Amino acid sequence: MRKYKSAIILFAVFEAIAVWLWRSTGSLFYLLNFSYIGCTLGIGLALSAAGWKHAREFVQFCVGSYMLVFLGLICRENMQIEGFWFYLFSGMFGAGVLHYAIAKIFGPLLFGRGWCGYACWTAMILDLLPFKKPAGPRKRIGFIRYIMFALSLGIVILLISLGKANKTSMFYLFVAGNVLYYVVGILLALVLKDNRAFCKYICPITVFLKPMSYFSVLRVKCDESKCIQCNKCLEVCPMDVEVNKNARNRKNATECILCQKCKKACPVKALK
């Protein structure tokens, strides 16, 4: 059962959130929504621990497409960062604020960047591209994320000041933002030969995700006394994490998406 511990903990946390929100708001939506997400995440982690090769991609599609198609396009909830700003400034305790609080601001203290590995609808498409391992060294253009972060904030402040910020404009912003992210993400992956280039350099959400995931309870640990320095873990890591070190401040530590590829590649089981 030990290998399923993470899956059980994650499911229990989501179920507790689901019940708490349902009981405190009276809305059945919260119970169903968080139960579904917790259930699929828990199943994915369990399948991954059991050795199924495509467990992560399966979960990413279940959660990502649910959020993009059902919550975003059908229910018209802007679940992107602009939606978060909009609901926050409007003082609404909506799905967008909750989503950010749980998946991207406070949740990463527990499960790091699990969102990026198991739920993100942008990455669920980018991960289908052929460059699963970055072809070259990391570029020094990560500052773009801060520009994108400022732009996302600026566009919502502008809409509010013009009196144009409402659910309809937020919906169109959601559609346009997603189209832009997919186009830029795919082009960047093709040019840099790196599926996750968008995540590394452009995505504004990492401004929240990176500092919070530094303190994550769930993380890949390395028993350096077992390590034989074969570098196989480094070769498969899509995010350039120096995972054969155990320190929290190892290189690119806050980039880990918990995909488990390094663990599977390690011949001496030094990674846990």
Q: Please identify, using beta-carbon distances, which residue of 22 and 206 lies nearer to ligand SF4.
A: 206
d(CA 125, CA 28): 30
- Asked if residue 129 binds ligand SF4 (CB under 6 A), the reply is no
Instruction: Dig out the tokens for 248 from the structure.
Output: 């929290």
Piece of the chain touching ligand SF4 by CB under 6 A; list 28-36, 45-53, 131-139, 199-207: 199-207
- Asked if residue 250 binds ligand SF4 (CB under 6 A), the reply is no
| 85-90: long-range pairs with CB below 8 Å, 24+ | 85/152, 85/153, 85/156, 85/157, 86/156, 86/159, 86/160, 86/165, 86/170, 89/156, 89/157, 89/160, 89/165, 90/165
Q: Please identify, using beta-carbon distances, which residue of 31 and 55 lies nearer to ligand SF4.
A: 55
Piece of the chain touching ligand SF4 by CB under 6 A; list 4-12, 50-58, 134-142, 232-240: 232-240
Answer whether 68's CB lies under 8 Å from 178's CB: yes
Q: Please identify, using beta-carbon distances, which residue of 160 and 252 lies nearer to ligand SF4.
A: 252
Shortest reach from residue 255's CB to ligand SF4, in Å: 7
Q: Please identify, using beta-carbon distances, which residue of 162 and 191 lies nearer to ligand SF4.
A: 191
- Asked if residue 210 binds ligand SF4 (CB under 6 A), the reply is no
Q: Please identify, using beta-carbon distances, which residue of 13 and 258 lies nearer to ligand SF4.
A: 258
Q: Which residues are paired to 222 by β-bridges?
A: 271
Q: What angle do CA 182, 186, 187 make, to 5 degrees?
A: 120
d(CA 241, CA 231): 11
143, 237, 251, 272: which one contacts ligand SF4 (CB under 6 A)? 237
H-only helix segments in the chain: 5-25, 28-49, 55-65, 81-90, 95-99, 108-111, 114-118, 121-126, 144-161, 167-192, 197-201, 206-213, 232-236, 261-265
Answer whether 198's CB lies under 8 Å from 189's CB: yes
d(CA 234, CA 250): 12
- Asked if residue 247 binds ligand SF4 (CB under 6 A), the reply is no
Q: Please identify, using beta-carbon distances, which residue of 159 and 197 lies nearer to ligand SF4.
A: 197
Whose tokens are 């949740």? That residue is 107
Q: Please identify, using beta-carbon distances, which residue of 168 and 224 lies nearer to ligand SF4.
A: 224
- Asked if residue 253 binds ligand SF4 (CB under 6 A), the reply is no
- Asked if residue 125 binds ligand SF4 (CB under 6 A), the reply is no
Q: Please identify, using beta-carbon distances, which residue of 15 and 149 lies nearer to ligand SF4.
A: 149
Please, what is the angle between helix 144-161 and helix 206-213, to 10°? 130
- Asked if residue 27 binds ligand SF4 (CB under 6 A), the reply is no
Piece of the chain touching ligand SF4 by CB under 6 A; list 13-21, 44-52, 69-77, 225-233: 225-233
- Asked if residue 268 binds ligand SF4 (CB under 6 A), the reply is yes
List residues binding ligand SF4 (CB under 6 A): 116, 120, 122-123, 198-199, 203, 205-206, 220, 222, 227-233, 236-239, 241, 243-244, 256-262, 265-266, 268, 270-271
